[in-house]
Amino acid sequence: MSQQPDLMDRIVSLCKRRGFVFQASEIYGGLSSCYDYGPLGVELKRNVKEQWWRAMVTSRRDIVGLDSAILQSPRVWQTSGHVEGFSDPLVDCKNCKARFRADHLEGDACPSCGQVGTMTEPRAFNLMFRTFMGPMEDSAATVYLRPETAQGIFTNFLNVMNSARLKPPFGVAQIGKSFRNEITPGNFVFRTREFEQMEMEYFVPPDEEDKWYEYWIQERFDWYQRLGIRKDKLRLRVHGDDELAHYSSGCTDVEYQFPFGWGELEGIAKRGSFDLGRHSEASGVGLSFFDEQTKERWTPHVIEPAGGCDRTAMTFLVDAYEEQEVGKDAKGVADVRTVLHFDPRIAPITVAVFPLVKKAGMPELADEIEGRLRVAGFRTFYDQKGAIGRRYRRQDEVGTPWCVTVDGESVDAEPEQATVTIRDRDSMDQQRVRVADVVDWLRDKMPN
Ligand code: GAP
């Protein structure tokens, strides 16, 4: 597989230059592996979450949402197995003191100082962040920042099932921050210590587990493609027995081929009755389902599609990125435009509106059209500065699918006959559309 590290550098640089992602605490030298999302990044991430929520919750009858607390009783994490088992094998280099995940090391030489045979034996390093609740900083006050959103769903199993009057098969979905003290974060927002997850626990009759496992693998694999991720950059990878988490009897990852190699976007896991069973035992509250028809009580099994918002947002960025040669200048030097081919549902700005020049009534009409589009619910952007070609290129670079330009023809015609040009980001073609039809024209072009 070819490695393209400099491509990743160029994407990271675009992210900073155009306001997608900034280093957190940058003015103080930054905080390792922590990132802030800028004006365009926050819209990109909101679109990712919105599309996920639509696909998983609002377009279906069988799945409802939840927003549980980041801080939970420590007993939740004792019972789930995280206090005891949520750890990575840590090794130290005795020479330079650098620390690594033992399972990420290749060979015997330290990746930091190059010395051979200087690593300590691996020891388990728990990935949960700890803090204190209330004014006492002692062990009785210790609480954990959640390392996954899933447990808040399991502990609310009865609350949700009873209040929403559901019966298996049904699902509970949640989007929210999780925290892991990763030993080796890296690759931009791919692996960080604070990140956002999109998880859904699907509770099924035990004998339907395999059917729903296959269903969710296919459904989640298709979701990325429906939103425009290239199929040849995606693959499914089945976990070997030695990789499975303590709660899981099967797991398949959706992976994407990043410039730095294949990386996991999402795991679809069979969790069986592990979590409901353990929490029932530890809490004394029976987390099970009573079937009124058969008069039988049983513990549902769980299929869990669990993905990451940050990784998914980064995947859309990487997959959409292109440096495209669009011609040559008089000296034969290539004219290259940088373009993000986002699906319109993912693009941070849907439509930009420009007056061709800053006079002759053009800014006024452009301003009016932009206002109309904004009210109609489009994410808009208005710009009247600089050459029109430069303004188009700036929108290409952030992936805006359409640019509406008000020109001389627009302001010279009778208002009902007035037209504007609409430029398509990918083909760069322009067509004239009546001002009165612009909103409908764009609505028509938006994928469902
Ligand atoms: N509840 C199951 C669970 O948490 P996971 O595979 O550990 O499973 C699910 O995490 C997803 O969360 C991953 O596929 C990834 O997209 C995201 N994720 C996990 N750790 C991450 C990290 N350190 N940085 C960014 N995203 C992360």
20 band by pLDDT with thresholds 50, 70 and 90: very high
For range 224-239, the mean pLDDT: 98
* Residue 3 confidence class, pLDDT cut points 50, 70, 90: low
* pLDDT surpassing 70 at residue 92: yes
Q: Say yes or no: do domains 4-74+137-317 and 349-445 share a fold.
A: no
Beta pairing class for 170-179 and 194-204? antiparallel
The torsion defined by the Cα of 92, 98, 99 and 101, in degrees rounded to 10, comes to -100
Q: Is 302 close to ligand 1, i.e. is its CB under 6 Å away?
A: no
For ligand 1, whether the C-beta of 266 sits within 6 Å is yes
Dmax over Cα atoms in the chain, in whole Å?
83
Measured between alpha carbons, how far is 366 from 355 in angstroms, rounded to an integer?
6
The enclosing H or E element of 422 equals strand 419-424
What token pair was written down for 139? Answer: 């062990």
Instruction: For ligand 1, say whether the CB of 404 is within 6 Å of any of its atoms.
Output: no
Mutate which of 311, 312, 316 to test ligand 1's pocket (most atoms within 8 Å of Cβ)? 311
Question: Which residue's structure tokens are 């799945």?
Answer: 63
Position 403, amino acid: C
Mean pLDDT of 278-307: 97
**Ligand 1 atom nearest residue 150's Cα:** 1
DSSP 5-44: HHHHHHHHHHHHHTTSEEETTGGGT--TT-EEE-HHHHHH
Helix (H), strand (E), coil (C) string for 201-227: EEEECHHHHHHHHHHHHHHHHHHHHHC
Phi, psi of 426, rounded to the nearest 5 degrees: -80, -45
Number of other CB atoms surrounding residue 280 within 10 Å: 19
The C-alpha atoms of residue 306 and residue 292 are separated, in whole angstroms, by 31
Whether the ω angle into residue 111 lies within 30 degrees of 0, i.e. cis, is no
Nearest to 100 by CA among 183, 185, 188, 193: 183
Domain 349-445 has CATH 1.10.8.10: no
Task: Answer whether 129's CB lies under 8 Å from 181's CB.
Answer: yes
The model's pLDDT over 165-213, given as tens digits with 9 standing for 90+, comes to 999 999 999 999 999 999 989 999 999 999 999 999 999 999 999 999 9
pLDDT in tens, 289-298: 999 999 999 9
Q: Whose CA is nearest to atom 7 of ligand 1?
A: 148
What does the pLDDT average to over 104-133? 92
**CA-to-CA distance for 229 and 222, rounded, in angstroms?**
10
Pocket flag, ligand 1, residue 196 (CB < 6 Å): no
Distance from C-alpha of 311 to C-alpha of 264, rounded to nearest angstrom: 9
Q: Which two tokens stand for residue 367?
A: 């301003």
The rounded Å distance from CA 307 to ligand 1 centre is 6
How do beta strands 63-65 and 170-179 pair?
Answer: parallel
For the Cβ of 306 lying below 6 angstroms from any atom of ligand 1, the answer is: yes
DSSP conformation letters of 188-204:
TTTB-SEEEEEEEEEEE
pTM as predicted: 0.95
Q: What percent of the chain has pLDDT over 70?
A: 99
Residue whose CA is closest, atom 22 of ligand 1? 191
With bands split at pLDDT 50, 70 and 90, how would you rate the model's confidence at 1? very low
Question: Is the CB of residue 311 below 6 angstroms from any atom belonging to ligand 1?
Answer: yes
Residue nearest to atom 19 of ligand 1 (CA): 308
Residue with tokens 């980041």: 70
Q: Which atom of ligand 1 is nearest to the CA of 199?
A: 1
The one-letter amino acid code at 184 reads T
Q: Which of 244, 141, 129, 220 is nearest to 178 (CA)?
A: 129
Residue spans per domain, the chain: 4-74+137-317, 349-445
Tell which one of 194, 197, 312 to mutate to probe ligand 1, the residue whose CB is within 8 A of the most ligand atoms. Answer: 197
Q: Which atom of ligand 1 is nearest to the CA of 149?
A: 1
Residues contacting 296, CB < 8 A, separation 6+: 290
**Crossing angle for the helix pair 309-320 and 39-53, to the nearest 10 degrees:** 110
**Helices within 360-436 (DSSP H only):** 362-375, 388-398, 408-412
Task: Find out if CATH 3.40.50.300 is the number for domain 4-74+137-317.
Answer: no
Q: Which of 132-136, 211-215, 226-230, 302-306 shows the lowest per-residue confidence on average (mean pLDDT)?
A: 132-136
Token pair listed for 254: 């959706």
Give the pLDDT of residue 268. 98
Residue 154: predicted pLDDT? 98
Least confident of 25-34, 243-252, 363-372: 243-252
CA of 164 to the centre of ligand 1 (A): 28
**Which ranges constitute the DSSP H helices of 89-142?**
none
Q: Report CA-CA distances (Å) from 187 to 23, 243, 311, 323, 326.
A: 13, 22, 10, 21, 30
* 79 Cβ contact list (under 8 Å, min separation 6): 278, 279, 281, 282, 283
d(C-alpha 438, C-alpha 369), whole Å = 8
Q: Specify the residue with its C-alpha closest to ligand 1, atom 6.
A: 267
